[in-house]
Structure 1
């Protein structure tokens, strides 16, 4: 998107459920300068797209760049307070969440979150009331039982990864630094009732690449092997379990099963060839079962369709789940730039469908959106009166090629393949991006 748009009273096909009172927000990289020779998907400045739903209406759509110091200067605006903090001048582009009444844009690798207003304007960097010692993660996990926010963060030059817990009041209450002298990239992790599950995989931060000015400083070192770590929630020592080399961007969910730990992830056989992305590595839904008695890890392929952006009902995070949701992966060229080495990538038309996995039945429902109707992460919103785990709604931005713009589609999670409950027609295109959240109005 080349401009910021504000539109009110959006047209709607169907009927927006009355209980959807809040904002659906999603973020992604949206470079300010398309002529930048260092242009790379992961480095684009973050832009938040939001739709306000209330009383069965779609009141507004807004898209806004996150005003880091560099972005604010680019617009000729005053730099927000705190943006000059060393290492914080990056416009987060990976996730947007709510915590303790604050809307936060998130990114990884040592950078701090940025706080936004309800209208998506930038307040400035957030350090959780002075309790966050350094950077944060793009993939925190909210424990639905305690209201605590758990995260695992890394930074290019740090020889440890940092586990943190943020209280419902929005302050850091616990920190554990896990030694990691090889500087692994931990994009995501998993949370169970007993453990924080760490992924120590072959992607590491390359100081050589950082010193030479490479736009990406990640390196694939398969000879390092791979392992899963179990850190007790209230402990400080990690127990490690070896696995086959692979890469994981995202966790679907994890939970405890007696002496076993069940972890469902989107697994890539590899992610990089040296410093370049490997577009031939297709992601599948896999399950790791960690036996804490025998010390063995068993891996099972749950679904071999290429898929990404998995999720569950937030009420079952860290607990056993029956259902999981994901988006079929689009052509990797849609995500990665022309300079990325994707030679030999099969010609395929993914990206126009969503998946609903029923792990109890061993089945998967496919929700086709129509060729060219590309989508991303589906976000689950529980229904207030729901008894079943799939009692709720799925929200996703879907590109409509006929209009050259996007829609916010509201699906019934129970009637997954039925007609959408509502389709909100946006006045602009929402480019492929990363993660988002439903932020409900206070009760």
Structure 2
């Protein structure tokens, strides 16, 4: 009797299952059920972007960061939840699969899946992503209008994490593209013009993945860290994502004046690690005339070293880095690196009105951690209170940071929390945290509205969606007042 081949199980991929599993259709829901009372000040749209593959994908090589983009949105007005919509952002592939004509607009470098963030810019809504794709403009009801180069002012792609200077309204960003090695692209957008007004290439020694940046009152901070472009992993068939950990690359942080030139960047070495998202940054002058730059970042010990499917290497935690430029503007001493908290966290945020300035509060998702693995689907929320302490002084940690866990309830998986102030001049804790929370047992979702004064008190309102919103990435509140 001939021997038979052993049975093998089909490959699995956690980013295609459970709380990550893609939804199969676009829906529109109106007059949504609300428990509690929606604050009447919430007049606008809560939007969130994330991967949602359309059509079959290979679980053996699928990477979470590469799924087709889907934006989810809720319209709140006059204490009511008027609608919920989810719409695929129309890349050429998505349009073809849906039997539609391709969305207009020029693409860049073969990149067009804008699946990571969604922002407002001068009255327009843009879905954005890093690594070379241009922004995609969406309508008020999330239909795709066009891929845009911002009136011809954006020669390459953009990023998922621009930083808005609250003093000027200008939007600063660092971008990169695999076909442009040895440079990172610094752009400044004027929202009143809807166009890039400043652009320079910053030389780097390789081809790094630069996911985010920071700003202070006067400087841009660049994270040049050891995750670099590598086509070998794609050729080997282990992953469709061509960025991996590179032990030989090194790790450093660059500081340059806002609106500055490449030759003005000053570099500081840090211990090898990866930072997807800084929480905030700030600067201050010290007695001898030196400039101290303080960075609060979520630090991963490595990234894409072993897991070819997503960011499953940790634990990541909140660290404070202090960099000093001497009176002559040159680096003065090594970076002082201090861990502020040992909770495994990601998706840190602050009040956007205080980006690059001292802020009392910050918050993040707490992840379940088993060994080196991070369980994004079993997350909670933590709020950090810096207690109004000396946020810009020389002390590393003198009891000025406390952390409060915010319970979500069993089986409920929250996404990133966004702060909405009660009014333009309201305090940091006078407003609400908005976050989508999935119920894994019921397959439903709520938009939870938590009081910023005391988020542990529970939601003042919940908007109930009879559908599941998969775990995704970033979003924002876009007021319509």
Q: Give the alignment's TM-score, normalised by structure 2.
A: 0.85
The residue aligned with 2:207 is 183
Conserved 8 A contact 2:113-2:133? no
Matched, 1:172 2:196: yes
Separation of aligned partners in 1, 2:270 and 2:188:
27
Matched, 1:355 2:355: no
Question: What runs of 5+ residues in structure 2 fail to find an aligned partner?
Answer: 1-22, 286-290, 327-331, 388-399
Q: 1:252 pairs with 262, 271, 279, which one?
A: 279
Conserved 8 A contact 2:278-2:348? yes
The residue aligned with 2:321 is 288
Q: State the Cα distance separating 1:80 from its structure 2 match.
A: 1.2
Separation of aligned partners in 2, 1:223 and 1:346:
24
Matched, 1:127 2:124: no
The residue aligned with 2:449 is 410
| Aligned positions of 1:39-78 closer than 5 A | 39-78=62-101
Q: 2:131 pairs with 109, 114, 127, which one?
A: 109
Q: 1:242 pairs with 233, 254, 269, which one?
A: 269
Aligned to 2:277, what secondary structure does the other structure show? Answer: strand
Aligned length: 430
Give the 3 Å change call, closer, same or farther, for CA 349–94 of structure 1 in structure 2: closer
Question: What runs of 5+ residues in structure 1 fail to find an aligned partner?
Answer: 333-343
Q: State the Cα distance separating 1:348 from its structure 2 match.
A: 7.0
Separation of aligned partners in 2, 1:162 and 1:207:
22
Q: 1:269 pairs with 254, 279, 301, which one?
A: 301
Deviates more, 1:202-211 or 1:155-164: 202-211
Give the 3 Å change call, closer, same or farther, for CA 174–289 of structure 1 in structure 2: same
Conserved 8 A contact 2:119-2:475? yes
Q: 2:408 pairs with 364, 369, 390, which one?
A: 369
Q: State the Cα distance separating 1:224 from its structure 2 match.
A: 2.3
Matched, 1:227 2:252: yes
Q: State the Cα distance separating 1:207 from its structure 2 match.
A: 4.3
Q: State the Cα distance separating 1:385 from its structure 2 match.
A: 6.2
Deviates more, 1:260-269 or 1:380-389: 380-389
Conserved 8 A contact 2:315-2:372? no
The residue aligned with 1:91 is 113
| Aligned positions of 1:26-37 closer than 5 A | 26-37=48-59
The residue aligned with 1:206 is 230
Separation of aligned partners in 2, 1:57 and 1:323:
29
Q: Over the residues paired in the alignment, what is the CA RMSD in angstroms? A: 2.0
Aligned to 2:65, what secondary structure does the other structure show? Answer: helix
Separation of aligned partners in 1, 2:311 and 2:85:
34
Separation of aligned partners in 1, 2:434 and 2:355:
18
Conserved 8 A contact 1:21-1:54? yes
Q: State the Cα distance separating 1:127 from its structure 2 match.
A: 1.0
The residue aligned with 2:367 is 329
